């Protein structure tokens, strides 16, 4: 618990320092994910008598680990394309074209590499921290439902630096519930890491997090963000409900599925 609180304090302090620096025109590199990974590494070693054990955070490779990785990528792609399809059908956004049709090849390459690095760092750091450590600790303290809700709340609060609007933070909270539930039903971080990575990567690559570069729209940026958040919340909640019902149906048949 002391180690967990230490990580949260480190993350919070770095966010505060970054915000203060921005107020005075000082642009600090947001390497909070690196700070998290280093802190988590130290926590794992401290909790295992100086040994670094991946199974402590649900990252030990098993025979179905690669299957979980592929399913995770698929779920992330499904979520993203569902969001974009709904926004397009509502006439809120309109597809302009693929990136290489709009921008120079070197810019596309740089953006792709950058998006990959940002997405994989965020997915690894945040899933290891919020699901691998926080969720695990809370499950031992009060049970799975309590653990998912509280860890998702902490997950959302740690994104306050990036999203000040309630609807955006609530969307992060719902995504946290999805990641947490995937972790619980698989007993592994691989699927939640891949869903997290795929969602972030596609949003960055399409420009959704940067004024929808591959799309045109007829409403202001604030309304686009608002509609996107609502669509993400609805689609993600539907996916969570489907997963819950599917697992409940199989358990009722006496089959405890392991994805």
Look at residue 120 and tell me if it is in a domain: yes
Which range (53-62, 177-186, 225-234) has the least confidence?
53-62
pLDDT at 33: 72
Q: How many structural domains does the chain have?
A: 1
pLDDT at 140: 84
What pTM does this model have?
0.83
Q: How many helices (H) and strands (E) does the chain have?
A: 10, 2
Secondary structure class of 259 (helix, strand, coil): coil
Select the highest-mean-pLDDT range: 64-73, 108-117, 211-220, 230-239: 230-239
Look at residue 24 and tell me if it is in a domain: no
Look at residue 32 and tell me if it is in a domain: no
What pLDDT band is residue 241 in, cutting at 50, 70 and 90? very high
Look at residue 84 and tell me if it is in a domain: yes
Look at residue 91 and tell me if it is in a domain: yes
Look at residue 38 and tell me if it is in a domain: no
Look at residue 33 and tell me if it is in a domain: no
User: Are 222 and 96 in contact, with CB atoms under 8 Å apart?
Assistant: no
User: Which secondary structure element, helix H or strand E, spans residue 176, and what is its range?
Assistant: helix 166-186
Look at residue 148 and tell me if it is in a domain: yes
pLDDT at 26: 55
Q: How far is CA 7 from CA 35, 43, 143, 155, 188, in A?
A: 9, 9, 22, 13, 21
**Closest to 195 (Cα-Cα) out of 207, 182, 205:** 182
| Helical residues (DSSP H) of 187-220, grouped into ranges | 190-206
How far is the C-alpha of 18 from the C-alpha of 105, rounded, in Å?
33
Q: State which residues form the domain around 170.
A: 57-252
Q: What mean pLDDT, rounded, does the chain reach?
A: 80
């Amino acid at each position: 618990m002391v180690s967990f609180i230490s990580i949260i304090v480190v993350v919070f302090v770095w966010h505060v320092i970054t915000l203060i620096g921005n107020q005075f025109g000082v642009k600090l590199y947001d390497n909070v994910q690196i700070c998290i990974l280093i802190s988590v590494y130290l926590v794992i070693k401290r909790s295992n008598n100086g040994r670094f054990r991946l199974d402590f955070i649900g990252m030990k490779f098993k025979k179905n680990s690669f299957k979980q990785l592929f399913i995770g990528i698929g779920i992330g792609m499904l979520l993203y394309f569902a969001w974009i399809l709904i926004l397009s059908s509502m006439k809120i956004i309109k597809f302009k074209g693929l990136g290489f049709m709009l921008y120079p090849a070197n810019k596309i390459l740089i953006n792709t590499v950058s998006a990959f690095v940002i997405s994989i760092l965020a997915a690894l750091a945040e899933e290891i921290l919020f699901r691998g450590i926080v969720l695990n600790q809370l499950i031992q303290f009060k049970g799975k439902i309590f653990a998912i809700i509280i860890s998702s709340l902490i997950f959302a609060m740690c994104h306050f630096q990036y999203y000040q609007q309630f609807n955006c933070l609530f969307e992060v909270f719902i995504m946290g519930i999805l990641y947490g539930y995937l972790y619980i039903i698989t007993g592994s971080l691989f699927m939640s890491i891949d869903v997290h990575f795929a969602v972030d990567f596609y949003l960055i690559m399409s420009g959704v997090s940067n004024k929808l570069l591959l799309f045109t729209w007829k409403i202001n940026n604030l309304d686009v963000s608002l509609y996107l958040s609502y669509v993400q919340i609805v689609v993600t909640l539907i996916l969570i409900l489907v997963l819950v019902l599917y697992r409940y149906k199989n358990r009722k048949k006496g089959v405890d599925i392991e994805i």
